[in-house]
Amino acid sequence: MKILGTGLNGLVGSRIVELLKDQYEFESSEVDITNRNAIIEKIKTSDAPIVLHLAAKTDVDGCEKDKILGENGDAWRINVEGTRNIVDSCEKNNKKLIYISTDFVFDGSQEVYKEEDVPNPVNWYAKTKYEGEKIVQNTSIPWIIARLAYPYRTHFAKKDFVRTLIDKFEKGESLQMVTDHIITPTFIDDVAYALDTLIENNATGIFHVVGSEFLSPYEAAFKIAHVFDFDQKNITKTTRLKFFRNRAQRPFHLSLKNDKIESLGVRMRSFNEGLEEIKRQLHP
């Protein structure tokens, strides 16, 4: 089966291609999704029955700077209007759409979040991603919304939060880690296998494609130190209000349940298990 993808060169997309290239033929859109005519034509001329939409402006603080520009800013143009262009073309050409979204659509006021819970974004990045979700949900074609959270992997040019911390440990730098922000880190290899299962099952709807452990960045740093045998003495505590001062607001409690995806037989690893697999991949 062929899959037409946007953002296939990114942190998540490139690993999906690496791991699933034997099961699917991936075709990169390679056009600007804000160019309505170009992306509509690309989807129209592709024989792929599925469009995997990963392309987005994901820099949370960069998106916040766009807020003053409203619908003229890059965050809105890419995350909302770009998604609208893709949805419209998928509708016209009868394609199934898989839209990659984020845990940040929630405000962090609940203990845990299930797929049925109503989003309430607290920053501009999350607002634009949620607007994209709503466009997808209002379409007549089959769709999947896959929400990811703090994705990490073993190798990639751009460092995710795990490899950023590993780099700091290796350099002996001080790590100021937030104690009051709860996250659900997600091993990207598991995202690839989860999407494969969703496609195989011809699934539709919203799925939390996230890891199986909730923890604070402070706790995450200690787990990284333990697995990779780093000195823990450079880990210090801070709060999210101090750490994110003068930056976009972050939700407090982003514990996402993955029961729905696991009910399909997908095993989403805990943070500890993900780190152990990274260690294994680094030193086979």
Question: Is 73 a domain residue?
Answer: yes
To the nearest whole number, what is the mean pLDDT of the chain? 97
Q: Is residue 250 part of a domain?
A: no
Q: Which domain holds residue 265?
A: 2-154+187-210+257-269
DSSP secondary structure letters along the chain: -EEEEESTTSHHHHHHHHHHTTT-EEEE--S-TT-HHHHHHHHHH---SEEEE------HHHHHHHGGGGGGSHHHIIIIIHHHHHHHHHHHTT-EEEEEEEGGGS-S-SS-B-TTSPP---SHHHHHHHHHHHHHHTSSS-EEEEEE-SEE-S--SS--HHHHHHHHHHHT--EEEESS-BB--EEHHHHHHHHHHHHHTT--EEEE---S--B-HHHHHHHHHHHHT--GGGEEEE-HHHHTTTS----SB--B--HHHHTTT--PPPHHHHHHHHHHHH--
Specify if 42 maps to a domain: yes
pLDDT digits (tens, 9 = 90+) for 220-238: 999 999 999 999 999 999 9
CATH for 261: 3.40.50.720
> Residue 247 domain-assigned?
no
In-domain check, residue 261: yes
pLDDT of res. 284: 85
Residue 277 located in a structural domain: no
Domains contained in the chain, number: 1
Residues 80-118: tens digit of each pLDDT: 999 999 999 999 999 999 999 999 999 999 999 999 999
pLDDT digits (tens, 9 = 90+) for 259-275: 999 999 999 999 999 99
pLDDT tens, 169-212?
Answer: 999 999 999 999 999 999 999 999 999 999 999 999 999 999 99
Give pLDDT, residue 151. Answer: 98
pLDDT, residue 184, reads 98
Structural domain includes residue 245: no
Mean pLDDT of 8-16: 98
What integer is the mean pLDDT of 120-136? 98
pLDDT at residue 77, rounded to an integer: 98
Residue 163 placed within a domain = no
For residue 218, is pLDDT > 90?
yes
User: Residue 28 — very low, low, confident or very high, per pLDDT cuts 50/70/90?
Assistant: very high
